[in-house]
Structure 1
Amino acid sequence: AQTILDKGADYLLALKHNWPVLAEDVRLFFADPGQARLDSHETIDLGHGRSEIRRHVVCHDVAWLTADRRYPGAPRFPGLEAIAMVEATVGRGDTTSVERRYFLSSLPLAAKLFARAVRAHWGIENRLHW
């Protein structure tokens, strides 16, 4: 993250299981955000025999992730401004699945802009596979 910031850019990083404790902390936060202020945006796509509802949620209250009380050796994300989640609910016929993905951002993104950024990245990845 620091290298990205040093180049004058910002980051929007997918939080995967390469940081298991951090990933679990963020997952638990979004499972029960309590009184935290959240910004959300929803998109709906219909077609190809399926429906997909994407709920994008952003929280700018990240002090608890950057506090000194974190465990020794915890990954550091300088410039962290937001954590975010995409919850995709996909329905095909009688089957419905739910997938959640989590992100860290150095930008204080609104949920609508976060949705566009994640969607743009998804489009780039899809083009790379064709």
Structure 2
Amino acid sequence: MPKGLLEHVNISATDPDRSAALLERLCGWKERWRGPSMLGGRTIHVGTDRQYVALYTGDQVKGDFAKGAPLNHVALEVDDLAAAEGVVKEAGLEPFGRGDYEPGERFYFFDWDGIEWEVVSYE
């Protein structure tokens, strides 16, 4: 049976530079690529050598996304939850829903476009 790995997720962002900077600070990631999108607009890839988030923007990207339509949240694993929460607060965003339950401790936040992110630590 094949084994899989989530290689990337592509999301829309009104300001991909701002979102990329947050993800770089939050996860210790790097920018892998940036350039024009095949369908117009532009994209920034930020992540590791094997996995990344593609942040797309174009004229049709207006923000104010609704939770659950269809995305509920994107989860990120970090090794220092308190430091990650500090990064989120420094960005002017508000962590909520902090919980410590199996299998790890976590919190959530909405970014500037209304996308919900979960940040979890198993340390």
Normalising by the residue count of structure 1, what TM-score does the alignment of the two structures yield?
Answer: 0.27
Greater helix proportion = 1
Q: Which has the larger radius of gyration?
A: 1
